[in-house]
Amino acid sequence: MPLLRNGHWTEENPWVRLEDDTPYPTGDNSSAPLLCSLQRFLTLQSEGSHRVSGVWLNPDDDVMLLAEHLQRVQLIVIDFPKYTDGRGYSQARVLRKQLGFSGELRANGDIRPDQLLFMMRAGIDAFDFTQAPDNDLVHQILTRYRVNYQPSYELPVAG
């Protein structure tokens, strides 16, 4: 899937999603960074397993449960199952402003180019599209505004 990270397209996405029903890899079976659901992440953390450093958030997940674990998290993926579901914006804002998360915050699911600017202003800095949107449209959206009057997360500069 096309990945837009910090305003630039990339093919680099080494993360492997560990589904809840998939056995946890043992030994050196995989060197790829692992991503799992919030509940599985919290369970693994309580068991002392710190290999998973990515968390997948569903819209109804409570991001405050991550507060004491954020120093071990490099990637948080926020799922947007429908473009009309705005709970991911709130999750992103809480993670960035209240909890001070500085890792990659990625939107996944039903995301559309016209939402990019709003998502970036909430703190999302990467977008995993199911289908690549028009590159010219994305560039136009990312370069349209250089200054915001309302407080927001710093916007990336597209190039």
Instruction: Kindly state whether residue 95 falls inside one of the protein's structural domains.
Output: yes
* Residues paired with residue 104 on neighbouring β-strands, in sequence order: 75
Q: Is residue 151 part of a domain?
A: no
Nearest to 143 by CA among 157, 129, 132, 122: 157
Question: Residue 135 falls within a domain, yes or no?
Answer: yes
Q: Residue 35: how many CB atoms within 10 A of its CB?
A: 22
Q: How do residues 40-84 score in pLDDT, each as one tens digit?
A: 999 989 888 777 899 999 999 999 999 999 999 999 999 999 988
Choice among 4-13, 68-77, 92-101 with the minimum mean pLDDT: 4-13
For the entire predicted model, the pTM comes to 0.85
CATH number at residue 64: 3.20.20.70
* Range(s) of the domain holding residue 118: 3-19+32-143
90, part of any domain: yes
Gap between the terminal Cα atoms of the chain: 21
Q: Say if 27 falls within a structural domain.
A: no
Residue 155 covered by a domain: no
Q: Is residue 78 part of a domain?
A: yes
Contacts of 149 (CB under 8 A, 6+ apart): none
pLDDT band at 137 (very low <50, low <70, confident <90, very high): confident
Separation between Cα atoms, residue 53 and residue 74, nearest integer Å: 6
Q: What percent of the chain has pLDDT over 90?
A: 47
For residue 97, the number of C-alpha atoms closer than 13 Å in the C-beta half-sphere is 13
Q: Say if 122 falls within a structural domain.
A: yes
